[in-house]
A and B are shown apart, each in its own frame.
Chain A
Amino acid sequence: MASNESSPRLRRRRRDRLAAKDDAAQQTSRADDAAFEVSIPEPYAGPTAAANRPDFAYLDAARLEALVERCFALIEHRGVDVNHAAAVKRLAKAGCKVDADGVRVRLPRALAEEALAAAPRATMLCSKSGRFDLDIPRRDNTFHMRTGTGAHGFIEPGSRYRKLVLADVKTIATVSDGLPEVGFIAHPFIYDAPERTADIHGLAALLSASEKHNWIQPYDTENVGFLMRLAAVAAGGESALRDRPIVSCIACSFSPLEFKEMDVEAIIQSGRYSIPIHACSLPTAGGTAPVTMPGTVLMAGAEILAMAVLTHVLAAGTPLIATPLIFALDMRTGRSLQSSVEALTGAAMAVQLCKRGFGLMTHSYGAGADTPDVCGQSQAERALLGLMVGLSGADILGGIGQLECATVFSPIQAIIDNELGAMQRAWLHTPRIDDDSLAWELMIEVERGGHFLANPHTLKHCREVFAPSAFLKLAREPYEKAGRRTELDNAMAIYEALMLRKAPHGLPDADAVAEMAEIVAAADRAILD
């Protein structure tokens, strides 16, 4: 925000200034000192009103229409496989054709169009305290971000890679709660809990430690109910959870064109609690989807369209957020990649298809890299991905802190992602073109050899420039003097400051935590025994 006054809060009173006159003589260079005073990033305010968001488009109207048409045609003629008998019955009752195997379901176009028309265009992802509620789409017309899910590796700051354990969930929560660009937090996979109930242990830990909205990722059908019960306890009861959904839930397709019982159950249970659903398709070009990226995008679009129908029939009115996560198979190694050139192209197209073609709230990876460590390649890949997906219209960018194709979480990378996310949001404003933005009067009056530095127009706007927290803009001398300090050193300082933050607001009380522990124990007994 532009200001015509230096902040009275930050400046000293004259009398205090004079009392500290000895200090006054010590005028130093900003480049020498201030560059290293790193603090926890402040929220990037974004535009004061909803911005006119610039659109990047691989798909022009004709191409977009062609893809949309093929999505409708694919789920109607080929159909999808739904491995949930009760759901299939309800789909049949809604007009879907079911094959003799009781699994293959063909979704009529009229029903799919009805589902898209009925899908909510906005929702709220609530935080526990109410301080970090997320309006989707974001009010300023940019995007929210979330941490990576599915991570099972952890790079502890100052240390090396290791398996992710339950105690790391609190670290992820603490770091993510303190980073303003992180809107909500996913629970990772933890190794020091029973494998079949690791999701329940992880979510319980996350609900107990983080103030922000949490994202549920079930690992099996019978786990879904326990996860929902945990969320209800953390929210203060089922009714409170319905009023303010402090969690949202992922439901995934099983490419190609199949839905496991667990994911259908996740849709049904999310509907029961009015919890927003991230309808996720994760096709891999060349593996579970065609190697040609338009074919992979078609796969993602068709699966998400099918999930819109499933949600409409099984959980009517439940907010659905289209979540295409596009991967590409490395043809040399067989590894799945999330940030290859092809995957980035696919992500941009899939977001355009879901957002502009279907008109759905849309969520995709906007961070993440295929490299195993926090390095230059990681920053380059995630910067390109975030910018492409952001410009393509996504409401949520996922993957904060994730490395090695969404399998590793790094707090240091999360801090860098926070900075990249703020920069990318800053880019998502089409500038005004008017006399003020053009500085028209000044341009007319500027003299030969003149400048714009000492001018009320510059004073008015100089604080609108983006201020990085971790990135450095140093000249050689202070850089060398500081031992060649980099943005990663600053990120480490920010990490240390984040870990010293006071306990977050709005966490479940001791009784609720005890009740969640009972649910976790009950889940272990029911699922493992």
Chain B
Amino acid sequence: MTNTLDDRLDAIFDAVLDYQDAVTADLVKTELAHGTDLRVILNDALIAAMDEVGELFSQGTLFVPEMLMAARAMKAGLEVLRPRLTETDAQPAGKVVIGTVHRDLHDIGKNLVGMMLEGAGFTVVNLGVDVPPEAFLEAVDTHRPDLLGMSALLTTTMPNMGRTVELLRKEGWNGRIMIGGAPVTREFADAIGADGFAADAPAAVGLARKMIGAD
């Protein structure tokens, strides 16, 4: 085989876009065996692929399940890199704590945001569902994230976003907060003092990048 580095990175990129998680993981292992800098694998193949996925979704070319399956494939590649990432000076794009607010058990959209953020190189701490304001506060104390993301599907649980923001600010946490979910609007975000609103997962990635100044 006389494949160049570019050819091999192309193959990883294509495997993510073809939703091939096992193939992606194998190709990443092979690339590491070639001695390629893992930041190159991460940025120029895996993250590049998820950027393409996000853009295709925004254009209406890819559907939600396809975006999700691509994110899974990317994550499979990322899991191969993860042990090495901690051993090197490779820095994630940022750290994000996410969760679905108190009394709300819906997590598909929030998990999709989490996977897309991981795909964009963020470290994601996913608190799950039904997360009380106090648990968000504890999480930001523990994990020291750059961003906090909250999700709600129900109009009846949306007010818990406001309560969480209020508690975090009262306790002195000044990190950036973004929110999303079916009933959530930009006006609501402004009203409760959140720093941003995203309508879907690719928009959340764009917003997160903007918030940490990577954009």
Contact = CB atoms under 8 A, between A and B. Distances in A.
Interface of A: 4-7, 10-15, 17-18, 21, 23-35, 37, 449, 451, 453-456, 458-459, 462-463, 475-478
Given A11-B52, A14-B10, A477-B199, A30 B66 contact: no
B202 A27 contact: yes
B173 interface: no
A146 to B, nearest CB: 30
Contacts of A33: 58-59
B13 to A, nearest CB: 4
A25 B206 CA distance: 6
Contacts of B195: none
Interface stretch (B31-39, B42-50, B76-84, B148-156): B42-50
A301 B203 CA distance: 59
Contacts of A477: 185-186, 199
25 contacts: A4-B18, A5-B18, A6-B17, A6-B56, A14-B9, A14-B52, A17-B48, A17-B49, A18-B44, A23-B55, A26-B206, A27-B58, A29-B199, A29-B200, A29-B203, A30-B202, A31-B200, A34-B58, A37-B59, A37-B60, A453-B64, A454-B69, A458-B65, A462-B63, A476-B185
Interface string B79-106: 0000000000000000000000000010
Contacts of B62: 6
A11 to B, nearest CB: 6
Contacts of B49: 14, 17
A34 B202 contact: no
B69 to A, nearest CB: 5
A29 B13 contact: no
Contacts of A478: 199
Given A15-B10, A478-B199, A10 B18 contact: no
A279 to B, nearest CB: 44
Given A27-B205, A453-B65, A14 B58 contact: no
A17 B200 CA distance: 22
Given A5-B17, A6-B66, A32-B199, A14 B185 contact: no
Contacts of A37: 59-60
B179 interface: no
Contacts of B22: none
A459 B69 CA distance: 8
A265 B70 CA distance: 64
A394 B210 CA distance: 56
Given A4-B18, A478-B199, A17 B13 contact: yes
A194 B59 CA distance: 51
Contacts of A13: 10
Contacts of A463: 63
A41 to B, nearest CB: 14
A28 B48 contact: no
Nearest to A451: B108
A433 to B, nearest CB: 23
Given A14-B45, A453-B108, A478-B199, A29 B10 contact: no
A25 B68 contact: no
B103 to A, nearest CB: 15
A5 B20 CA distance: 9
Contacts of B171: none
A504 to B, nearest CB: 28
B19 to A, nearest CB: 6
A25 B202 CA distance: 10
Contacts of A28: 58, 202-203, 206
Nearest to B59: A34
Given A10-B56, A11-B52, A29-B200, A5 B19 contact: yes
A475 B203 CA distance: 15
Contacts of B55: 23-24, 27
Given A11-B56, A14-B44, A30-B202, 13 more contacts: A5-B17, A6-B53, A6-B56, A13-B10, A24-B52, A24-B55, A26-B215, A27-B55, A30-B59, A449-B129, A453-B68, A455-B65, A463-B63
Given A6-B18, A14-B45, A24-B51, A454 B68 contact: yes
Please name the 10 residue pairs, one residue from A and one from B, whose CB atoms are nearest each other, closest first.
A27-B206, A29-B203, A14-B13, A34-B60, A29-B199, A24-B51, A27-B202, A454-B68, A27-B205, A458-B65
Nearest to A30: B58
A257 B55 CA distance: 63
B18 to A, nearest CB: 5
Contacts of A453: 64-65, 68, 108, 112
B203 A27 contact: yes
